[in-house]
């Protein structure tokens, strides 16, 4: 029986390793596949103009999306849906890994702080205009992103963590609830993921917080441009914070906070590098079009502003 148990345990372990390897490479492949078309479309070649226009039609949203495209779009306020998905999924992963892998726990905790704020902003900050929409392709990409991004932060341990959690639930069912005592609650044990952090984690947290707070301020500025309940489509030039130097500071701050996640991870996981690469490529591409829209829309638009990188681009 002991030999059989050892063999079964080895088989399960091998199965988990195979699934984990498949999951990691599936995530890496999707980040690469998502990033390459953006990089190709961004090349300054007349031969790629049609491809650039096609990709841009998928990425357009809100004010830069022409009304003629509404037949293949949905209301941008359905951001609420995938922000909710992001919160539920990130919370699930965080709970599953909390007692298992301190590095992943910290990354997921930062991600949780980010997606909770985004959900709050959907309700309380952004006052979308009646014409604010996004392409259905962009919507599906958003759902995938907020599912795959948290998963990319914990790929090396998520299967073992959930297997461990399942074993604990099974043990609880077998032993019965009466076996659980309040005195068994180990508060210090549950705090271990935060007490075992190194300098990389705290340095990454500082970078994350820098981007997070600036995005909070920039979103507040964007939200204040339209009074709640205003049903007009009027637009004004945003002012304040990083809007003084770039047209899309909320995108710049998003790039910074994901860079903070990379630093907090220790920089050894290639999947997180690919996640950051996708975020940067996607947001730079979108910011360039937003900047062009501002220049076309406003004759007095500040010429010293760049699209997303201060003084550079």
CA–CA gap between residue 8 and residue 114 (Å, rounded): 41
Residue 75: beta bridge partners? 133
Q: What residues contact residue 170 under an 8 Å CB cut-off, 6+ apart?
A: none
Scanning the structure block, which residue is given the tokens 């599936």? 26
Highest averaged pLDDT of the listed ranges 107-111, 132-136, 155-159, 176-180: 107-111
Q: What are phi and psi of 128, to 5 degrees?
A: -65, 140
Scanning the structure block, which residue is given the tokens 């596949």? 33
Going by the DSSP 8-state scheme, the letter that residue 153 receives in this structure is: T
CA–CA gap between residue 11 and residue 301 (Å, rounded): 64
Buried b (16+ CB within 10 A) or exposed e, 142-167: beebbebbbbbbbbbbbbbbbeebee
Q: What SS3 state is found at 219?
A: helix
CA–CA gap between residue 154 and residue 237 (Å, rounded): 40
Is the pLDDT confidence value at 110 over 50?
Answer: yes
pLDDT, tens digit (0-9, with 9 covering 90-100), for 159-204: 776 666 555 555 555 555 555 454 454 555 556 666 678 889 999 9
Selected residue with higher pLDDT from 77 and 219: 219
Helix, strand, coil in percent for the chain, rounding step 5? 75, 5, 25
Is the pLDDT confidence value at 76 over 60?
Answer: no
pLDDT, tens digit (0-9, with 9 covering 90-100), for 220-268: 999 888 664 454 556 789 999 999 999 999 999 999 999 999 999 999 9
Task: Give the residue-averaged pLDDT of 71-100.
Answer: 75
CA–CA gap between residue 195 and residue 197 (Å, rounded): 6
């Amino acid at each position: 029986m002991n030999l059989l148990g050892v063999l079964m345990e080895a088989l399960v372990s091998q199965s988990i390793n195979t699934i984990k390897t498949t999951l990691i490479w599936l995530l890496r492949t999707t980040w690469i596949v998502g990033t390459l078309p953006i990089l190709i479309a961004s090349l300054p070649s007349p031969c790629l103009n049609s491809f650039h226009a096609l990709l841009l039609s998928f990425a357009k949203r809100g004010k830069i999306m022409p009304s003629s495209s509404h037949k293949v779009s949905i209301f941008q306020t359905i951001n609420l849906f995938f922000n909710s998905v992001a919160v539920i999924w990130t919370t699930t992963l965080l709970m599953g890994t909390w007692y298992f892998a301190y590095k992943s726990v910290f990354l997921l905790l930062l991600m949780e702080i980010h997606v909770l704020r985004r959900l709050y902003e959907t309700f309380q900050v952004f006052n979308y205009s009646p014409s604010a929409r996004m392409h259905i392709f962009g919507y599906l990409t958003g759902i995938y992103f907020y599912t795959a991004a948290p998963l990319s932060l914990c790929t090396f341990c998520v299967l073992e963590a959930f297997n461990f959690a399942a074993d604990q639930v099974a043990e609880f069912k077998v032993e019965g609830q009466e076996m659980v005592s309040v005195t068994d609650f180990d508060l210090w044990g549950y705090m271990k993921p935060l007490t075992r952090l190194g300098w990389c984690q705290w340095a990454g947290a500082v970078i994350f917080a820098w981007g997070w707070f600036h995005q909070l301020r920039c979103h507040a500025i964007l939200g204040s441009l339209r009074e709640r309940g205003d049903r007009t489509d009027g637009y004004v030039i945003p002012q304040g914070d990083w809007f003084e130097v770039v047209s899309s500071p909320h995108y710049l701050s998003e790039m910074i906070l994901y860079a903070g996640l990379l630093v907090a991870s220790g920089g050894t996981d290639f999947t997180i590098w690919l996640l950051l690469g996708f975020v940067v490529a996607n947001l730079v591409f979108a910011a360039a079009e937003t900047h062009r829209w501002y220049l076309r829309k406003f004759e007095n638009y500040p010429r010293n502003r760049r699209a997303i990188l201060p003084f550079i681009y």
